[in-house]
């Protein structure tokens, strides 16, 4: 990990402020009455630097996929702004929106539903050029499509095949090729490998990393698998019930988490090392995630938190560097939305890699 990736001096390519998405709950057959709202995303802020990978982790229902959809304009935010190079894209429509869309593309989770089964691979990867004809002249498209197939490691002669003739990993490569077609600057990847077999996941992750270097891409990488997120991300944000509760460099989050939810999440991840199971401390959370229609007051994690006190019920903790770490420059000094943040090491550091992690901060 290099220091240059996330320094504040670099103008962020993407700046998300106060992002909110509420889905209204309605009742009634013809005339709908609002009876509440699913607060899927409830105030999310982050920035993305050029060439950086921001990982967003969280459990199902935490709102991470909704964030992804808003970034690529598949959902309109209820409030907040998404600034791409300083321009708020949530206010755009028509031609201006279409132009921005060229630069922010998405890779979907399920390679079986994200490709139209009735289109050939050539048509799927070439579709971006049909929608944005200014990018490639008509005669050039087929060559470009074949080039893209080659870039993602598929035989360029496969253009006339249909998606069902490919395996899951190959289909995901096709999805990635489609995402690359317009030469975007940002790729939002929503669980891009979770539907794949273990031995194929590594191939796709390596491909994504290679493409990042080759095309200078910035990634927003959304996943529930903390190990994969660590592997690919420069910075990581942890989401819980529609909010980011902790965000920082990967070593800060994984080796020096200060938010109790992050700590619990990390400690729960099974580590492929049977030696570790005897001396690992596991934080087992009680209960389930509350419903996003009925979010607890104050700190939204307090209902499952072993540290919760009265203050947590009253005051919403802000996502900022906690006061006790504010003056140190150590790895614990990163934003964490907890009134009682404290450092706790839950992932046993490997001797050989410990130095490397320390050196990065």
Partner 1 sequence: MPEPQPEEPHVSGGQRSAEDGAIASTGLDGTMDLATTEGETLEKGLGNADAGGPADKARSLWSDAWRDLRRNPVFIISALVILFLVVISLWPSLIASGNPLTCDLAKAQQGSQPGHPFGFDGQGCDVYTRTVYGARISISVGVCATLGVALLGSLLGGLAGFFGGISDSFLSRITDVFFAIPVVLGGLVLLSVVTSNSVWPVIGFMVLLGWPQISRIARGSVITAKQNDYVQAARALGASNSRMLLRHITPNAVAPVIVVATIALGTYIALEATLSYLGVGLKPPSVSWGIDISAASPYIRNAPHALLWPSGALAITVLAFIMLGDAVRDALDPKLR
Partner 2 sequence: MLLEVRDLRVEFRTRDGIAQAVNGVEYAVDAGQTLAVLGESGSGKSVTAQAIMGILDMPPGRITGGEILFKGRDLLKLKEDERRKIRGAEMAMIFQDALSALNPVLTVGDQLGEMFVVHRGMSGKDARAKAVELMDRVRIPAAKERVRDYPHQFSGGMRQRIMIAMALALEPSLIIADEPTTALDVTVQAQVMDLLAELRRELDMGLILITHDLGVVADVADRIAVMYAGRIVESAPVHDIYKAPAHPYTRGLLDSIPRLDQKGQELYAIKGLPPNLMKIPPGCAFHPRCPMARDVCRTDVPPLYEVTPSDGTRVSACHFWRECLDDRVDGHVNG
Q: Which stretch binds partner 1 (CB under 8 A): 105-113, 243-251, 264-272, 311-319?
A: 105-113
Instruction: Quote the least distance from Cβ 227 to partner 2, whole Å.
Output: 5
Q: Does 118 bind partner 1 (CB under 8 A)?
A: yes
Q: Does 66 bind partner 1 (CB under 8 A)?
A: no
Instruction: Quote the least distance from Cβ 73 to partner 1, whole Å.
Output: 7
* Of 4, 27, 93, 113, the one binding partner 1 by CB under 8 A: 113
- Draw the binding track, 103-142, toward partner 2 (x: CB under 8 A; -: no contact): ----------------------------------------
- SS3 sequence of the chain: CCHHHHCCCCCCCEEEEEEEEEEEEEECCCCCEEEEEEEEEEEEEEEECCCCEEEEECCCCCCHHHHHHHHCCCCCCCEEEEEECCEEHHHCCHHHHHHHHHHEEEECCCCCCCCCCCCCHHHHHHHHHHHCCCCCCHHHHHHHHHHHHHHCCCCHHHHHCCHHHCCHHHHHHHHHHHHHCCCCCEEEEECCCCCCCHHHHHHHHHHHHHHHHHHCCEEEEEECCHHHHHHHCCEEEEEECCEEEEEEEHHHHHHCCCCHHHHHHHHHCCCCCCCHHHHCCCCCCCCCCCCCCCCCCCCCCHHHCCCCCHHHHHCCCCCECCHHHCCCCCCCCCEECCCCCCCCCCCCCCHHHHHHHHHHC
Q: Does 178 bind partner 1 (CB under 8 A)?
A: yes
- Say which entry of partner 2, partner 1, none residue 17 contacts (CB below 5 to 8 A, set by partner kind): none
Instruction: Quote the least distance from Cβ 242 to partner 1, whole Å.
Output: 21
Chain residues 292-311 in contact with partner 1, contact rule CB under 8 A: none
Chain residues 254-283 in contact with partner 2, contact rule CB under 8 A: 254, 264-277, 282
Q: Does 34 bind partner 1 (CB under 8 A)?
A: no
* Of 90, 170, 172, 262, the one binding partner 1 by CB under 8 A: 170
């Amino acid at each position: 990990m290099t220091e240059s990736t996330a320094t504040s001096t670099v103008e962020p390519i993407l700046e998300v402020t106060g992002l909110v998405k509420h889905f209204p709950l309605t009742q009634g057959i013809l005339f709908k009455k609002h009876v509440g709202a699913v607060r899927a995303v409830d105030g999310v802020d982050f920035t993305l630097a050029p060439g950086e990978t921001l990982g967003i982790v969280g459990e199902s229902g935490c709102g991470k996929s909704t964030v992804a959809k808003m970034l690529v304009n598949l959902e309109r935010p209820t409030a907040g702004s998404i600034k791409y190079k300083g321009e708020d894209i949530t206010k755009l429509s028509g031609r201006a929106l279409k132009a921005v869309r060229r630069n922010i593309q998405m890779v979907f989770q399920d390679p079986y539903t994200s490709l139209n089964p009735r289109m050939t691979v050539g048509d799927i990867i070439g579709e971006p050029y049909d929608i944005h004809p200014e990018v490639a002249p008509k005669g050039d498209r087929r060559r470009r499509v074949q080039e893209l197939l080659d870039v993602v490691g598929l035989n360029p002669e496969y253009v006339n095949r249909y998606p069902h003739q490919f395996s899951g990993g190959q289909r995901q490569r096709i999805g990635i090729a489609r995402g690359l077609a317009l030469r975007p600057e940002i790729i939002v990847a929503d669980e891009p490998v979770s539907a794949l077999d273990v031995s194929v996941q590594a191939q796709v992750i390596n491909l994504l990393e290679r493409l990042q270097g080759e095309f200078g891409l910035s990634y927003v990488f959304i996943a529930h698998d903390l190990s994969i997120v660590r592997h690919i991300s420069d910075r990581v944000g942890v989401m819980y019930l529609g909010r980011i509760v902790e965000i920082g460099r990967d070593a800060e989050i994984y080796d020096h988490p200060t938010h109790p939810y992050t700590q619990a999440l990390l400690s729960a991840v099974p580590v492929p090392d049977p030696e570790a199971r005897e001396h690992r401390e596991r934080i087992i959370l009680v209960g389930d995630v509350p419903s996003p229609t009925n979010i607890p007051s104050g700190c939204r994690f307090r209902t499952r938190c072993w540290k919760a006190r009265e203050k947590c019920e009253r005051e919403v903790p802000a996502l900022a560097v906690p006061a006790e770490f504010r003056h140190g420059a150590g790895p614990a000094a990163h934003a964490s939305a907890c009134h009682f943040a404290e450092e706790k090491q839950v992932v046993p550091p490997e001797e050989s890699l410990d130095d490397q992690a320390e050196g990065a901060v």
